[in-house]
Chain A
Amino acid sequence: MKAKKERGGTPIRGLLPLVALLVIWELVGDPASPYFPPPSTWIDGIQPLIDADKLLPAIGQTSLTFVLGLAIATALGAIVGTLVGASRSVDRALSPSLEFLRALPAASLVPVAALVLGYTTQMKLVVVVLPATWPILLTCRTARRTLSPVLLDTPRTLGLSTWHRTTKILTPALTPAVLLGVRVAAPLALIITLLVEIVTRVNGLGAALGAAQAGFLSAQVYGLLTIAGILGFAVNWIVTRAETSVSRRMRGTV
């Protein structure tokens, strides 16, 4: 968090209003309130989940779906994006279909996927992969399209094989674009993971959140919301750092 502040230039003192809000909430809030239980009750709220050994597995299931979904989306987006970006005619052939698929909101896919594939972890993955693929596919397509022709001619004139052309030139040249896409896709994938879990209650943090809300356990809802927030913050921080450091190396701008 400190590094983020240094780079983004957002002063830390800006956290004051949030801290003040939480303190006032704590002081004024009624511990018995069904709507706004003060922060100190949140830990008690999630204590039953910890005692029943449910919290860590839930975080694990959410993280697993998220990581796998993002990994599949990255591979898919990078490959399709590169192919579409390499050829104008492939682009023209596929883009209307891709545009239509992109317009389908992830939320509307959840009930459909649940009906067709059942309430399973595979279903969760499918729903996460589809929307998370777009940002990666789009940045990769643009990057491939704007790649300098000289960069593509260089390995040819030096007699590199197709395999080496792909691994030594194309892959490193497109890596920054893929990571830029991942940076946008990662928070999205986390949101969609939680969304599927909230709607279908299959497993994971979102399912716990939905169950807590259904049982009117308001302190537990706020506690789980905080955990989801920490997860979101961690994901953002990791992908942003990875993207900037790798791009710097690959693009040669320090």
Chain B
Amino acid sequence: MARRINVLGAAVFVLALGLWELLVRTSILDFAYLPPPTVVAQGLGELVSSGELGEALGHTLFAALSGWALAALAGVAAGSVLGLVRPVWMYSMASLEALRALPIVAFVPVAVLLFGFSVQTEIMVAFYAALWPILLNTISGMRTEPRMLESGAVLRLSRAAVLWKIRLPGATAMIVVGLRLGLSVSLVLTLVAEMVGNPAGLGFLLVEKGQALQPGQMFAAVFVIGVTGIILNALVMGAARLAFRGQMASSGEVSS
């Protein structure tokens, strides 16, 4: 289906920004540090021209993507073993479920304790956060429908061929979902690690601008973070769609 441009929705968005501007300017919304959108736009300009934004964005992306890439390797490998080898699953799944219940953010202080105020802390936190969705989605993706496996048996495929031609393609859509979720949580947790741990990147930029009482620049940084998340998500989806066209359709992911 061709997507039409949602004029109404865009108008409402612009209208909301206008209303925000008006309410702040007329002091109906009266908070000491709530900037109107024009001041936020100005703040964005300042951050870009001073070079702070580019540097912080680069640092955060590096940490988040490194952690995510490590998690993708480890998660897909471990998830495949857990999904395919029944005894391993039986003797470890409950441990994983127990560990998963631990709120991920509570690990940030532990990581800071172990790795200090360094970029390693950020990468470890991003890795740990992204590992869960990737691992769990890979495990459930590898549990292929028995009927698909039966057709493999009927065609007398070897074990390796069954793995390569049936199991892996069947799991692709689920793994991609895991990779997407993992990317967005690794970005969030990198920001947290920067706020409480390593003083660098967008997370620290937010805290710093807050302490310097620069709400315009601070809101601008939040805006950049939001846009970054949207772009990263779109990139993963686009890459997945290019690489595995057929498999993606099976989970209905294409339509979203």
Binds A, one of B51-59, B172-180, B213-221, B238-246: B213-221
Contact A96 B94 (CB under 8 A): no
A14 to B215, CA, bound (A): 50
**B170 CB, min distance to chain A CBs, angstroms:** 20
The stretch among A50-58, A86-94, A246-254 that forms the contact with chain B is A86-94
- Min CB gap B198→A, angstroms: 13
In the assembled complex, the CB of B124 is this many whole angstroms from the nearest CB of chain A, namely 13
Partner of A13, one of B34, B91, B184, B189: B91
List CB contacts (< 8 Å) of A125-183 with chain B. Answer: none
Residues of chain A within 8 A (CB-CB) of B109 are 198, 209-210, 212-213, 221, 225
* A93 vs B8: C-alpha distance when bound (angstroms): 5
Asked if B77 CB lies within 8 Å of chain A CBs, one says: no
Range of interface residues on A (Cβ < 8 Å): 35 or more
A46 at the interface (CB under 8 A from B): no
CB–CB A107/B191 < 8 A: yes
Contact: A198 with B108, CB < 8 Å?
yes
Does B196 make an interface contact (CB < 8 A)?
yes
**In the complex, what distance in Å separates the CA atom of A10 from the CA atom of B94?**
6
Across the interface, A96 reaches (CB within 8 A) one of B9, B90, B112, B207, namely B9
Interface stretch, picked from B152-160, B161-169, B224-232, is B224-232
CA gap between A14 and B110 in the complex, in Å:
25
Segment from B42-50, B68-76, B98-106, B247-255 that makes contact with A: B98-106
Contacts of B91 in A (CB 8 A): 13-14, 16-17
Flag if B101 contacts A232 (CB, 8 Å).
Answer: yes
- Asked whether A35 lies within 8 Å of B113 as measured between CB atoms, the reply is yes
Q: How large is the interface on B (under 10, 10 to 19, 20 to 34, 35 or more residues)?
A: 35 or more
Instruction: Write the B80-117 contact mask toward A (1 if CB under 8 angstroms, else 0).
Output: 00000000011111111111011111111110111000
Residues from chain A with a CB closer than 8 A to the CB of B215 are 112, 115-116
In angstroms, how far is the closest chain B Cβ from the Cβ of A103? 5
**What's the least CB distance linking A199 to chain B, in Å?**
5
CB-defined contacts of A198 to chain B, threshold 8 Å? 105-106, 108-109, 192, 196
The answer to whether B9 and A95 touch across the interface, beta carbons within 8 angstroms, is yes
CB distance B103 to A18 under 8 Å? Answer: no
The total of Cβ contacts below 8 Å across the A-B interface reads 174
B95 lies within 8 A of A92 (CB): no
Do A191 and B103 touch (CB < 8 A)?
A: yes
Tell whether, in the assembled complex, residue A116 and residue B9 are in contact, meaning their CB atoms are under 8 Å apart.
Answer: no
Does A111 belong to the interface (CB within 8 Å)? Answer: yes
Q: With an 8 A cutoff between CB atoms, is B206 at the interface?
A: yes
B192 pairs with A93, CB closer than 8 A: no
Residues of A within 8 A of B104 (CB): 191
- B1 neighbours in A (Cβ, 8 Å): none
Residues of chain A within 8 A (CB-CB) of B96 are: 14
B1-43 vs A, CB cutoff 8 Å, 1 = contact: the mask equals: 0000010111111001000000000000001111000000000
Interface of B is mostly: helix
Overall SS of chain A's interface: helix
B residues near A5, Cβ cutoff 8 Å = 94
Whether A94 touches B33, Cβ cut-off 8 Å, given contacts A114-B210, A115-B210, A191-B104, is no
Residue of B34, B101, B108, B226 most packed against chain A (CB within 10 A): B101
Q: Which of A97, A105, A194, A218 contacts B106 (CB 8 A)?
A: A194
Cβ B33 vs Cβ A116 within 8 A: yes
Complex CA gap A64/B103 in Å reads: 17
A21-45 to B contact mask, C-beta < 8 Å, 1/0: 0000000000000110000000000
Complex interface: chain A residues within 8 A of B187 (CB): 105
**Which chain A residues border B227 with CB–CB below 8 Å?**
103
**In the complex, which residue of chain B has the Cβ closest to the Cβ of A35?**
B114
Taking a contact as CB atoms under 8 Å apart, the answer to whether A105 and B99 are in contact is no
Q: A100-B226, A213-B113 are in contact. Are A206 and B93 (CB under 8 A)?
A: no
A78 at the interface (CB under 8 A from B): no
Taking a contact as CB atoms under 8 Å apart, the answer to whether B203 and A233 are in contact is no
Q: Is the CB of A18 within 8 A of B95?
A: yes
Say if the beta carbon of A238 comes within 8 Å of chain B: no
Contacts A100-B13, A103-B226, A105-B229 given; indicate if A195 touches B99 (C-beta within 8 A).
no
B residues contacting A by CB (< 8 A) are 6, 8-13, 16, 31-34, 89-99, 101-110, 112-114, 184, 187-189, 191-192, 195-196, 202-203, 206-207, 209-210, 213, 215, 218-219, 221-222, 225-227, 229-230
The 6 closest A-B pairs by CB, nearest first: A14-B94, A213-B109, A18-B95, A96-B9, A229-B102, A233-B101
Q: Which residues from chain A sit less than 8 Å from chain B, CB to CB?
A: 5, 8, 10-18, 34-35, 89, 92-97, 100, 103-112, 114-117, 187, 190-191, 194-195, 198-199, 206, 209-210, 212-213, 216, 218, 221-222, 224-225, 228-229, 231-233, 236
Could you list 6 examples of A-B contacts with CB < 8 Å? Answer: A18-B99, A104-B226, A107-B195, A198-B109, A209-B106, A213-B112
